[in-house]
Structures are given as structure tokens and as C-alpha cells.
């Protein structure tokens, strides 16, 4: 959370020097996350980023930067809207298939959507999305994203009481230990336990 406050301060400093719409969006996203963290009130966070969505939703064409912003605020949408929205974004990202960042964004959208589905207790749909992502994108993922996929699948399996959750969590643990990423391992374990 400290880094988010630092980023917000840097953004404010920049905006005092010169106005930039993209930087203003970063400010609003930071503020929404900070307010949500402090108040635990999703409506407050939604209202902060509402102008971003109102602006982007009018565009006929979304550029990669617009899609990155949408990904950052996806958690603020109702699950059914986020699902429909993600499917639209995944199709639109095909336009940018030659850009490496487009593939990372596809994976990020699938991961974020799976988290929304977990929160909505739609474990089977979340499992389908993660399995599809693993099948399509596994060789392109970095170690932390792959570990996150394994841990999410472990959560789904545990919640729908299907075997394999322990083995998947162990895969994530081993992968993160190879890279000595003990902080991320702790976060994944906490998420699984929660």
C-alpha cells in the first residue's frame, strides 16, 4: 500500500507540472485502490473511477493503453458485466496479436476474471477459465503468473471438492522456491488459506 501512496504522490507532482489524461487516469485508479483499502467500500472506489469508464466506453476503438486501464478497474464491475466485458476485450486484443504486451494482457484479464468468479463463488467457471489459460498460454507465462495459475486452480478444486488442490499448491510452492520468491509464496499461501 505504501508504494501506491508513493505512486499517487508522483502522479500529483506530475499533474501539477502539466496535465495529461492518461496520468489523470492513473491518479484516479490509485485513489480508488487506496480508498477501497481504507474504507472497504466498493461503491466509493467505483465512484472514483466512474469517469474513466464513462470516457473509455465512448471510444469506438480501444488501444492497448485503454485495455490496460480497463484491466486495472475490472474488479469494480459486477461479475456478469465483467465476464461479458472480458470476453469482448479478449476478442479486441486479437487486433494486437503481434504485440507481446497483448498476450500478457489476455492472461491478466483471465486471472482477474477468475478472481471475480471466486468472489462470486462460481468456482467451476473460474476453473474453466484458468484451465483454458494454462492450456493456451502456459509456455508464454513467467514463473509468478504460472504459480498464480496453479494456486488459483488449487483454490477452485478445494472449493468444489475435487482432488488435486494439494498437488497444485505444491507446484506453485516449488516454482516460487526455485526463484527464491518467498514473499510471493507467502501471499499465495494466504490467499489459498483464506
Average pLDDT over residues 132-138: 81
Top pLDDT among 14 and 100 is at 14
Q: So where are the chain's domains?
A: 1-58, 61-121, 142-194
- Alpha carbon of residue 164 to chain centroid: 24
Q: What is this structure's pTM?
A: 0.71
pLDDT class of 91 with cuts at 50, 70, 90: confident
HEC string of the chain equals: CHHHHHHHHHHHHHHHHCCCHHHHHHHHHHHHHHHHHHHCCHHHHHHHHHHHHHHHCCCCCCCHHHHHHHHHHHHHCCHHHHHHHHHHHHHHHHHHCCCHHHHHHHHHHHHHHHHHHHHCCCHHHHHHHHHHHHHHHHHHCCHHHHHHHHHHHHHHHHHCCCCCHHHHHHHHHHHHHHCCCHHHHHHHHHHHHC
pLDDT band, residue 123 (cuts 50/70/90): confident
pLDDT beyond 80 at 71? yes
Residue 165 reports pLDDT greater than 80: yes
Label residue 24 by pLDDT band (50, 70, 90): very high
- Say how many C-beta atoms besides its own lie within 10 A of residue 176's C-beta: 25
Amino acid at each position: 500500500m505504501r508504494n501506491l501512496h508513493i505512486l499517487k504522490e508522483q502522479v500529483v507532482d506530475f499533474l501539477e507540472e502539466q496535465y495529461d489524461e492518461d496520468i489523470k487516469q492513473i491518479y484516479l485508479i490509485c485513489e480508488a485502490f487506496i480508498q477501497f483499502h481504507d474504507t472497504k467500500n466498493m461503491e466509493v472506489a467505483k465512484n472514483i473511477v466512474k469517469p474513466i469508464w464513462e470516457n473509455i466506453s465512448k471510444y469506438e476503438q480501444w488501444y492497448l493503453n485503454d485495455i490496460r486501464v480497463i484491466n486495472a478497474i475490472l474488479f469494480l464491475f459486477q461479475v456478469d458485466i465483467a465476464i461479458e466485458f472480458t470476453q469482448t476485450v479478449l476478442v479486441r486484443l486479437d487486433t494486437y496479436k503481434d504485440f507481446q504486451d497483448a498476450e500478457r494482457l489476455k492472461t491478466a484479464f483471465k486471472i482477474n476474471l477468475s478472481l471475480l468468479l471466486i468472489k462470486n463463488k462460481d468456482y467451476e467457471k473460474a476453473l474453466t477459465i484458468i484451465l483454458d489459460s494454462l492450456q493456451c498460454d502456459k509456455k508464454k507465462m513467467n514463473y509468478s503468473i504460472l504459480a498464480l495459475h496453479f494456486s488459483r486452480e488449487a483454490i477452485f478444486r478445494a472449493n468444489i471438492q475435487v482432488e488435486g488442490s494439494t498437488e497444485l499448491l505444491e507446484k506453485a510452492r516449488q516454482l516460487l522456491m526455485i526463484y527464491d520468491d518467498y514473499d510471493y509464496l507467502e501471499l499465495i499461501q494466504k490467499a489459498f488459506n483464506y
